[in-house]
């Protein structure tokens, strides 16, 4: 079947891995590490935003 022959009502098969390995499992430690990275990036983003506002105000 070609893509132009598909209709909205037809199910589209989605490839799914047959099995997962332990390396692919997300743990609580992974989530905590990701949260730390997100907080650090948010802090850096806020600092850069404030710095840009300060430069704009000084003009």
User: Three-class SS of residue 9?
Assistant: coil
Q: Supply the pLDDT for residue 54.
A: 80
pLDDT band at 3 (very low <50, low <70, confident <90, very high): low
Stated length of the chain? 59
Q: List pLDDT tens digits, range 12-28.
A: 666 666 665 666 788 89
Sign of CA dihedral 33, 38, 43, 47: positive
Q: What is the pLDDT of residue 35?
A: 94
pLDDT at 58 over 80: no
Specify the residue for token string 């332990």: 22
Tell me the per-residue pLDDT of 25-42, one tens digit each, with 9 for 90 and over: 888 999 999 999 999 999
């Amino acid at each position: 079947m070609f893509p132009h022959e598909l209709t909205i009502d037809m199910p589209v098969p989605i490839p799914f891995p047959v099995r997962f390995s332990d390396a692919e499992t997300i743990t609580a430690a992974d989530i905590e590490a990701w949260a730390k990275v997100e907080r650090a990036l948010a802090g850096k983003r806020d600092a850069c935003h404030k710095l840009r506002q300060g430069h704009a105000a000084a003009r």
